[in-house]
Amino acid sequence: MTIGLGEIAVTADEMRRVEERIFLAGMPVAALMEKAAGMVARRIQELYPRVSTGSVGVLVGPGHNGGDALVVARELHFAGYRVVVHCPFDRLKDLTAQHAQYVKNLGIEFLETREPLRDCSLLIDGLFGFGLERALTGKIAELVDEINGWGKSIVSIDIPSGIHTDTGEVLGTAIIATRSFCLGLWKRAFFQDNALPYLGAVEKLDFGIPPADVAAIVGNSSPVSLVSRSSVRDWLPLPRPLLTHKYRQGHLLLICGSRRYAGGAILSGLGARGSGVGMLSIAVPTSLKPLLVSHLPEALIIDCPETETGAIADIPADLSFYGAIACGPGLTLEARAVVERVLEIDRPVVLDADGLNILAELGIERVLNRREETVLTPHSGEFKRLFPELSENKDRIEMTREAARKSGSIVLLKGARTVIGDSTGKVRIIPESTPALARGGSGDILTGLIGGWLVQMPEKAVEATAAGAYLHARAGILAAEERTEAGVDGVTLANYLANATGEALATVSPSRE
């Protein structure tokens, strides 16, 4: 399936090469600048109407991002806005210099110092676009820091100045934007946790890049793609055939919980329930069986021998009739022998929480040669224990990709923008989330949910993982919209999984993706 242009995230080098192809085909650089910057100017007029907006200050850099800013300044001036320009650079690229001369000839004031910008109600950041690699220092860094301290509304063109396009790293300092307009194709920084506090509200403006030019550079199925509603709709095995039954809808085994962490078993079960899995079995310490039966009466509860402290001591010998196993939430580190057994079973396995902590003790090589798929779902702390040599990388996308290659597994790195890598080197990103998910039990729900979809999609383990992560995020967003971010506990989150699935299955126009 060909990935749409709205579903890929490119590096600065890829974006540069795409633009070079467009220019070699005959598109004048000036024409592309006019088209892209014109779209920015129109969106600014829609979002910040002239009648309710005071003066607009435009920050101009030396390159084509500065040229974009000058086109925006010109168009806002023509629309009746009071516009002032501040360019703290002596040398400009030729095209940018031409725009600067025309803007001056229009009578738009060029400020000698930044101080008058304080009086502006809106600032346009056109200092640096994609591709910046050097840290902001000296007077430019002082300018950025001072502007950030004013508390003004700031619109960044393409990407906030000072943000690394690929890693999202702050290069010394960076503009803290109120709103960012990403031009043409999504840049990877928009999905890196490092950059999120600087982006503000985000919108991509598509100025008509030919798909053939993108395909020539990044391919029809980009190695870094965004999980969209339409892709999830295509992946899910829904609607089900009329002539089916529970055993055809997958049988998942959850191994989780302890006397100390009984809730992990319940929440994992609720997550699995939210996938609509046909059969659900849950292995827990004997003492937890009555509790699990009361919360999940449809599940088959397997009471396992337990240690003196209430951890699972052993699991049944024959696990061959389960389609997949999800293991880890609430186990405690006492369950090391249980995790070792699970890794020896020829079934797809999802590992989370203490399952991951035990794997870190055993060594990541224990999953490298498993015949069936392994899905690892660490948060940043668990990732560091599993892959200490990778955890200092500031690029979450590349560190996830490398972890998946190193382990031969599907690696889901949790975060404000969850990243999923597989052993082929492809990466998928969940493009949205909510702080409502930053709560105990949220990850347990995800473990069960992924396990539930994995057992229903046995030939599409990566897609099952990505679909589970997407629906988990959407359930949190939908719940937060009705309950507020503080009102989304684990049980509430699980109750919104059906809403998220229904939303994904609904037919929507491409513009709503």
Query: Six-digit token pair at 307?
Result: 């240690």
CA distance 378 to 351: 9
pLDDT at 75 over 90: yes
Integer Rg of the chain from CA: 26
Q: According to the model, what pLDDT value does residue 511 have?
A: 47
- Is 443 part of any known ligand binding site? yes
Query: What average pLDDT does this structure show over 401-405?
Result: 96
- Is 128 part of any known ligand binding site? no
- Is 221 part of any known ligand binding site? no
Sheet of strand 153-157: strand arrangement: 109-111, 83-86, 56-60, 122-126, 153-157, 179-183, 201-205
Confidence of residue 222 (pLDDT cuts 50, 70, 90): low
- Is 161 part of any known ligand binding site? yes
Confidence of residue 1 (pLDDT cuts 50, 70, 90): very low
pLDDT at 3 over 70: no
CA distance 415 to 417: 5
pLDDT at 105 over 70: yes
Please report how many Cα atoms fall inside a 13 Å half-sphere around the Cα of residue 156, on the Cβ side: 29
- Is 215 part of any known ligand binding site? no
- Is 135 part of any known ligand binding site? yes
- Is 96 part of any known ligand binding site? no
- The helices-and-strands tally (H runs, E runs) of the chain is 18, 19
DSSP 423: T
pLDDT tens digits for 328-343? Answer: 999 999 999 999 999 9
Query: Six-digit token pair at 69?
Result: 């800013």
Query: What average pLDDT does this structure show over 164-189?
Result: 97
Query: Six-digit token pair at 83?
Result: 């516009």
Q: What is the distance, to the nearest Å, from the Cα of residue 121 to the centroid of all Cα atoms in its chain?
A: 32
First to last CA, the chain: 17
**C-alpha closest to that of 118 among 74, 86, 78, 156:** 86
pLDDT at 466 over 80: yes
Q: According to the model, what pLDDT value does residue 220 have?
A: 61
DSSP 226: E
pLDDT at 353 over 80: yes
Query: Six-digit token pair at 366?
Result: 């224990």
- Is 370 part of any known ligand binding site? no
DSSP 136: P
293: helix, coil or strand? helix
- Is 448 part of any known ligand binding site? no
Confidence of residue 294 (pLDDT cuts 50, 70, 90): very high
**0.85 exceeded by the pTM?**
yes
Residues 6+ apart with CB under 8 A from 330: 256, 257, 258, 260, 261, 262, 263, 264, 265, 268, 353, 354, 444
- Is 65 part of any known ligand binding site? yes
- Is 418 part of any known ligand binding site? yes
Q: According to the model, what pLDDT value does residue 320 have?
A: 87
228: helix, coil or strand? coil
Query: Six-digit token pair at 64?
Result: 């084509």
**C-alpha closest to that of 280 among 253, 304, 255, 244:** 253
Output the CA torsion sign for 32, 33, 34, 40: positive
54: helix, coil or strand? coil
- Is 61 part of any known ligand binding site? no
- Is 125 part of any known ligand binding site? yes
| Residue 298 · residue 251 · CB < 8 Å | no
Query: What average pLDDT does this structure show over 310-325?
Result: 94
Q: Long-range contacts made by residues 210-218, C-beta under 8 angstroms, separation at least 24?
A: 210/22, 210/25, 211/5, 213/18, 213/21, 213/22, 213/25, 214/5, 214/8, 214/18, 214/185, 216/21, 217/10, 217/14, 217/17, 217/18, 217/21, 218/8, 218/10, 218/14, 218/18
Q: According to the model, what pLDDT value does residue 4 have?
A: 55
- Is 416 part of any known ligand binding site? yes
Output the CA torsion sign for 303, 308, 312, 318: negative
- Is 512 part of any known ligand binding site? no
CA distance 36 to 421: 32
- Is 57 part of any known ligand binding site? no
Q: According to the model, what pLDDT value does residue 2 have?
A: 44
Confidence of residue 72 (pLDDT cuts 50, 70, 90): very high
Confidence of residue 130 (pLDDT cuts 50, 70, 90): very high
CA distance 62 to 93: 6
CA distance 363 to 387: 10
Residues 6+ apart with CB under 8 A from 222: 3, 7, 8, 9, 10
| Residue 281 · residue 247 · CB < 8 Å | no
pLDDT tens digits for 253-279? Answer: 999 999 999 999 999 999 999 999 999
DSSP 429: E
- Is 188 part of any known ligand binding site? no
Q: According to the model, what pLDDT value does residue 391 have?
A: 83
CA distance 130 to 378: 30
Q: According to the model, what pLDDT value does residue 482 have?
A: 95
- Is 357 part of any known ligand binding site? no
List of E strands, 419-501: 419-421, 427-429
Query: What average pLDDT does this structure show over 490-503?
Result: 97
Give the phi and the psi of residue 14 in degrees, each rounded to 5.
-65, -40
Q: Which residues of 450-481 are buried (b: 16+ CB within 10 A; e: fewer)?
A: bbbbbbbbeebbbbbbbbbbbbbbbbbbbbbe
Q: According to the model, what pLDDT value does residue 6 have?
A: 61
Query: Six-digit token pair at 16?
Result: 């540069």
Tokens 């001036």 sit at which residue?
77
Confidence of residue 457 (pLDDT cuts 50, 70, 90): very high
Q: Which residues of 189-199 are buried (b: 16+ CB within 10 A; e: fewer)?
A: bbbbbbbbebb
